[in-house]
Amino acid sequence: MPDPASLDLNRRDLMVGATAAAAAAALPTAAGAASAAPAAPVTAKVAFTVNGERRELDLDLRTSLLDAAREHLHLTGSKKGCDHGQCGACTMIVDGRRINACLTLAVMHQGAEITTIEGLGQPDNLHPMQAAFVKHDGYQCGYCTPGQICSGVAVLDEIKAGIPSHVTADLNAPMQVTEAEIRERMSGNICRCGAYSNIVEAMTEVAGRRA
Amino acid sequence: MKFDTPAGQNPIDQLKVVGKATDRIDGKYKTTGTAPYAYERHDVAPNQAYGYVLGATIAKGRVRGIDTAAARRAPGVVAIVTTLDTPRLERGRMNAAYLFGGDAIQHYHQAVAVVVAETFEQARAAAFLVRVDYAPEPGRFDLAAEAPAAPPVGGNSGEGSGAAGAERVGDFEGAFAQAPVQLDATYATADESHAMMEPHATIAAWTGDRLTLWTSNQMIAWSKGSVAKILGLKPENVRVDSPYVGGGFGGKLFVRADAVLAALGARAAGRPVKVALTRPLIANNTTHRPATIQRIRLGATKDGTLTAIGHESTSGNLADGKPETAVDQTKLLYAGANRLTAMKLARLDLPEGNAMRAPGEAPGLLALEVAMDEMAEKLGIDPVEFRIRNDTQTDPMKPGRRFSHRNLVGCLRTGAEKFGWAKRNPTPGQVRDGRFLVGIGMAAGFRNNLLVKSGARVRLDRDGRVTVETDMTDIGTGSYTIIAQTAAEMMGVPLDRVVVRLGDSDFPASAGSGGQFGANNATSGVYAACVQLREAVAQRLGINSADAVFANGQVRSGNRAVPLGEAAQAGELSAVDAIEYGDLAKTYQQSTFAGHFVEVGVDADTAEVRVRRMLAVCAAGRILNPKSARSQVIGGMTMGVGAALMEELAVDTRRGFFVNHDLAGYEVPVHADIPRQEVIFLDEADPISSPMKAKGVGELGICGVGAAVANAVYNATGVRVRDFPITLDKLIERMPDAA
C-alpha cells in the first residue's frame, strides 16, 4: 500500500507549490503581457517497486504511470493505445489489481507494488499465461497483448477471490471460470486483430491448470 | 525468378514444415512486451525529443495565421513547426490528402503544427498554447445529399479490387425488366475506422541529409519512396524500419503525418524526435473506409437462375480520391448473362477515404450477399442452394477465362453440413431461446488473389544457420513464421535454425502487407532466394544441385552427406532473388472463396443482437500456417461483426468531421461481443498462383461475414435492415410482438 508519510509532497503542498511556481514564473513577465508564461513543471519524487525492483523517479506531476514506465524506466511492454482508458493496452497489475496505467498519475503510486508484462515472464522463461497465448495464438499484431495478458492473469485472480462480475448469476455460489465470465471481465481490453476466441481458449486452459 | 508457368513438384511440397500449424516465432517477444514497436526505440537514437501534433479544427478553409509565441515560451519547448512555415508538401503514394504545409485546410484534424519539447507532458501542454486563426469555408459533408449528382468514376483500391465507372455484359436493363422474379433494393454502409491498436508513430533522426524513420508501416518500399518525394530527398538517403507493426488494416499502407512531422520536427530541433498521433486525432487525421450507398438489382427465372445482375455503388471522397470499389466482386461471384456494375463518386470534404481491410469487397458483399438472401426468399429457394445454382467456373465478364481454382460450392456445402444448416427454420421469427429470438444466416465470401513482385535475401552461415532478410512486414499476419517455415523447408533445416529479419528498407523490397497479397508473394520471394542459395551451396560443395537433397540440416548427394554449414566454412553464402510473375493472373482469374455461417440471438424486448456461433469455410489455396491463417480469418470475422452491428464513424454534416473519434465513441467488437469461432480450410493447392501454391487468406474472413450476420438477424426477427450497422434502434420498432 502507498505510504503517505514517505511522499515528498502532500496534496496541499503540491497545490501551494504549483501556485508558487506559477507566480514565480509570472513575475519576470512585463505587466500587461498578452499571455503569461506558463508555469515551469512541478516535479516530485516517487518510489515504487516495479517487477520486484525498487525504482525511484523524479517526475513531472503530469506523468502517467504508463509514461513513467515507458519513457522513464524504458519498460515499453505496457502499450499506449489510446491514453484515455478506452483500450486496455496499458494494463498493469498494481497492488494486486489490474489498472489502466494511462489513467493514473505515477506520483499517486508511492510505495506501490507494480507488475508489468516484463515482470510476468521473459522470452525464455514465459509465465503460464504468456505460454498459453503463444500456444493458442491469442494475439496477432501483439500491441494489445501485454495488456490482455496482465488483465488475464488478474481476472483469474479476481474470480478466485470471489469478486463478482456483471454476468455472475449467483453471488453465493462458488465462482466459476466460465467463458462468459472471461468475456465479460476482459471486455476492457480491445483486440482489433480479433484474437478474442483464442484468448478465451488460452485463459480457460490456464484456469484449468491452476484448479 | 520468373513465375510464368504453373508450378510443378518442388521442395515446398514436402510439407515437413510448411503447412503445419506452427506457433509464431515472434510470439515469445510479443507476449513478454519485448517486441519493439515504433515509438519504443529508445535504443536507436540518443536524446530523443517529443513531438505533439495539432490538428485543424475546421473541415475546409484556410489558415490565416498561427500564433506560437506563448507556446515557444513554455517550459521545455525545443522547436515548433507550423504548416505556414513550409509550402504545401508533395503527396506520397496513393494519397489524396496533403499531409502538411501551406495554408489550405482540406479536412478536419489535418495537421497544422508540431510542437517539440523535452518531455511528452511539456509538448502536449505547449501545443494547447498555439493559437490558430482560421478562415473557414463551406464544404460538402453529406454523402446522401451529394449522391444523386455524383458522376461515374472508375477506380482501383490498389489492394486488389477495381472497376470501371460502368461495365456491361449483355442487356442488363432488358433482361431485368423481363425477369419473372426481381429484386431491387438499396443498401447503405457506414464510414469505418481502422482503429488499429498501435497509433501511427515514428521516431525520426537525421544524419546530415540522411533520414532514418523508425515507424509503423505496412509497405516499406512504397513508404521510402513516398518519404523521399514528400520531403524532397534522394530515396537512397531515406531509411524506413518497421520490424513490428501494431496493426494496420490498410491504415498504415502510406506515410502519414506522424512520419512527416517527426522528420520536420527533428530537423528543426536538431535532434531525434518521436511523434505518435494521439488517439482522438486518428479517425479524422488519417484515412477511413468510405461509406457507400449501393443499389442492387437481381433478375431470375422461377427456378432460381440469375439472368440479370446489377450493382451500382456511390461513395464520396476528397478531390483526387478514389471510389470505394464495392461492386468489384459482383463481376465475378455469380453466373448471369446480363450484367451491369457501376460506381459513382461524390466530391466530399470529409477526411480521405482509402483502403481498409478488403476495400471494395467488405462493404460490397454486405450489400450483395444480403440481396442474395432476399432473392432466395422471393424465389422460395434455400439460400445455400440458390448460390450453388448460380456458381460459375469461368469469369462471367470474359467467357472462356477460367478460375485457376474455384471451390465456392465446397465451402458452402461443407459449411452447411458442419453448421447444422438443415435444422434452420427458413421462416423468420420462429425460434425462441429464453429472451432471445434465434436466427441462422449465411453468405458467400470472395476476395481476389493478387500476384505482386517480392524479393528477399537468404544467408547461410558456417553453423548452418539460415537468415532471411526482406522488407516484408508482419502486421500481425504471421509473416515472420511463414517466412521461417519457407526457408526451413527449402534449406532442410529445423525452424529454430532460421532467423527472420523484416521491415527494414535496407533489405530487398517485398510485396509488403496489404490486399491479402503478403503471405503468398513474400514467401514466394523467399522461395526464389532459397533456390539460388541451394544452387550456391551445391556449387560450393561441388555437387550437382539437381541431385542435392536438403534435409535434416544436411545436404545429401548420392552416398555423400555433409552438414549444411559446411558450405559456408570458407565464408558466408548469400543469395538475393525475387519472384516475378508472368501473365498467369491474366490467363486465369485467381480468387479465394468462403462460406460464412452465423447464428445470432436477438433480445425480443430490447432488440440487442448477440452473435452466438460463427463458422467460416475457406478455399484459399495451400494454407502455409493453419494456426496463424486461422487467426487471420477469425480476426476478419470479428471486424465483420463490427461492420454489421456497431461500427460507424458518425458524420457531423454541419461542421464536417467524424464526431466519435476515439475508442469509446467508435465502437469495435470487444470480448463480450464475440463467441467461439470456427474455421475450416478446404485442403487445396493452387499451382497457378505461385511456387508456394498458396493464395491470400488474410482478408477473406471479413468478406461476406457481415452479410451472414445480417441474414441471421433477419432469420431471427423477420426484420430486414439495409442500412448498416444494424443497431438496435433500427430493429426495435419493427420487432415481432414488441411490447
Does CATH number 1.10.150.120 belong to domain A128-210?
A: yes
SS (H, E, C) B577-591: EEEEECCHHHHCECE
- Supply the pLDDT for residue B399: 85
Low-confidence ranges of chain B (pLDDT < 50): 739
CB contact under 8 A, B33 and A117: yes
DSSP category for residue B199: P
Each residue of B455-466: pLDDT tens digit? Answer: 999 999 999 999
In the residue annotation, B535 being an active-site residue is answered as no
Q: Where in chain A is the domain with CATH 3.10.20.30?
A: 4-19+40-120
CATH architecture label of A4-19+40-120: Roll (3.10)
- Supply the pLDDT for residue A22: 41
With left for phi above 0 and alpha for psi between -120 and 50, is residue B715 left, alpha or beta? alpha
Angle at A187 between CA A186 and CA A191, to 5 degrees: 90
Which chain B residues have a beta carbon less than 8 Å from that of A168?
Answer: none
Half-sphere exposure of B631 (CA within 13 A, CB side): 31
Which chain B residues have a beta carbon less than 8 Å from that of A62?
Answer: 121, 125
pLDDT at A21 over 50: no
- Interatomic CA distance for residues B335 and B214, integer angstroms: 48
- Interatomic CA distance for residues B608 and B206, integer angstroms: 53
CB contact under 8 A, A137 and B280: no
CB contact under 8 A, A137 and B126: no
* A38 → chain B, closest CA residue: B74
Size of interface A-B (CB pairs under 8 A): 220
Residue B33 DSSP SS3 = coil
- Supply the pLDDT for residue B215: 98
- Interatomic CA distance for residues A195 and A138, integer angstroms: 5
Model confidence at A30, pLDDT cuts 50, 70, 90, reads very low
H helices of B420-549, where?
Answer: 479-491, 518-541
* B279 → chain A, closest CA residue: A82
Amino acid at B191: D
> Of A34, A76, A188, which has the smallest distance from its Cβ to B40's Cβ?
A76
Which chain B residues have a beta carbon less than 8 Å from that of A200?
Answer: 671, 676
Which chain A residues have a beta carbon less than 8 Å from that of B668?
Answer: 190, 192
Complete DSSP assignment for B262-320? HHHHHHHHTS-EEEE--HHHHHHHS-BBPPEEEEEEEEE-TTS-EEEEEEEEEEEE-TT
- Supply the pLDDT for residue B371: 98
Sorted by where each starts, the structural domains of chain B and their CATH numbers stand as 2-35+451-586 (3.30.365.10), 42-138+201-278 (3.30.365.10), 401-449+590-739 (3.30.365.10)
CB contact under 8 A, A134 and B40: no
Lowest mean pLDDT among A8-12, A23-27, A82-86: A23-27
% of residues, chain B, pLDDT over 90: 97
Which chain A residues have a beta carbon less than 8 Å from that of B634?
Answer: 194-195, 197-198
For the record, the C-alpha cell of A52 comes out as: 520486484
Each residue of A159-203: pLDDT tens digit? Answer: 999 999 999 999 999 999 999 999 999 999 999 999 999 999 999
CA-based Rg of chain A, rounded to a whole angstrom? 21
- Supply the pLDDT for residue A25: 39
- Supply the pLDDT for residue A38: 58
Which chain B residues have a beta carbon less than 8 Å from that of A41?
Answer: 75-76, 119, 121-122
Each residue of A33-66: pLDDT tens digit? Answer: 444 555 688 999 999 999 999 999 999 999 999 9
Residues in B 10-29 with any Cβ partner in A closer than 8 A: 23-24, 26-29
- Supply the pLDDT for residue B493: 98
Residue B155 near residue B354, CB atoms below 8 Å = no
Q: Where in chain A is the domain with CATH 1.10.150.120?
A: 128-210
Q: What value does the mean pLDDT take over residues A143-171? A: 97
B246 touches chain A (CB under 8 A): yes
CB contact under 8 A, B476 and A139: yes
For the record, the C-alpha cell of B540 comes out as: 560450393
Return mean pLDDT, chain A.
87
- Interatomic CA distance for residues B599 and B441, integer angstroms: 6
CB contact under 8 A, A79 and B197: yes
- Supply the pLDDT for residue A8: 45
B125 touches chain A (CB under 8 A): yes
> Of B32, B247, B662, which has the smallest distance from its Cβ to A130's Cβ?
B32
- Supply the pLDDT for residue B164: 84
